[in-house]
Amino acid sequence: MALLTIEAKYMASVETSKKALWLREFVGTFGIIHDSVQVYCDSQSAIHLAKYHMHHKRTKHIVVRYHMIRHWVVVENVIDLAKISTKKIWQT
């Protein structure tokens, strides 16, 4: 259970990234190759947490499995985590 809004957005970004990577591999079996997958998040704080490794007393309780997004974003560069306006989300 998420205790903070940033944690909930961070967890949602991880879950979305896992699905996006699965789809990337799936379409790769058909010969469609993508270098990276763009995942949008409406929380600049969650994006910052994913891109920059920081230890903070408010985020140390986040389960380690959610920190795998850092590896995808920073090390492997297969996820492009980008900011999107909340207003734009509701327009679609």
What is residue 27's predicted lDDT score, i.e. its pLDDT? 94
Domain ranges of the chain: 5-91
pLDDT at 28: 92
The reported pLDDT for the residue numbered 35 is 86
pLDDT means over runs of 10, the chain (92 residues): 74 89 92 89 86 65 70 81 79 63
Q: Smallest Cα–Cα separation from 81: which of 9, 4, 33?
A: 9
